[in-house]
Amino acid sequence: MNNTVTDDILEHYFSITKKAFEKVKIAVPEESHLFPIAKDFLEMAENYIKDAEYFRTKGELVLAYGAIYYAHAWLDAGARLGLFDVSGDHKLFTLAK
């Protein structure tokens, strides 16, 4: 078992999360009470991506790893709840059946 966060591992998860972020489209209508929640989920993901990038530039790879995971979790949760349209992508997202 490897317990070390390397640049290669971090790059892998940055790549996956950035692909997921680019794929996400808000699925609920703007008039819906869920629209601000969807926007909040998307903003949280974006903020955690920025945090991860910041930690990475500081050499704090463990913190960057945690932040990029949180970013993807916000995207994943939004997709699973139906807030986001992700075109049925079961590789980047854990979708409800």
Nearest to 82 by CA among 63, 92, 72, 96: 96
**Lowest mean pLDDT, pick from 1-5, 15-19, 76-80:** 1-5
pLDDT band at 1; cut points 50, 70, 90: low
**Do residues 55 and 13 touch, judged by C-beta distance below 8 A?**
no
- What CATH topology corresponds to 10-85? Substrate Binding Domain Of Dnak; Chain:A; Domain 2 (1.20.1270)
Q: How far apart are CA 78 and CA 57, in angstroms?
A: 28
* Whole-prediction pTM: 0.93
Q: What is the pLDDT of residues 25-43, one digit of tens each?
A: 999 999 999 999 999 999 9
- Name the percent of the chain lying above pLDDT 70: 97
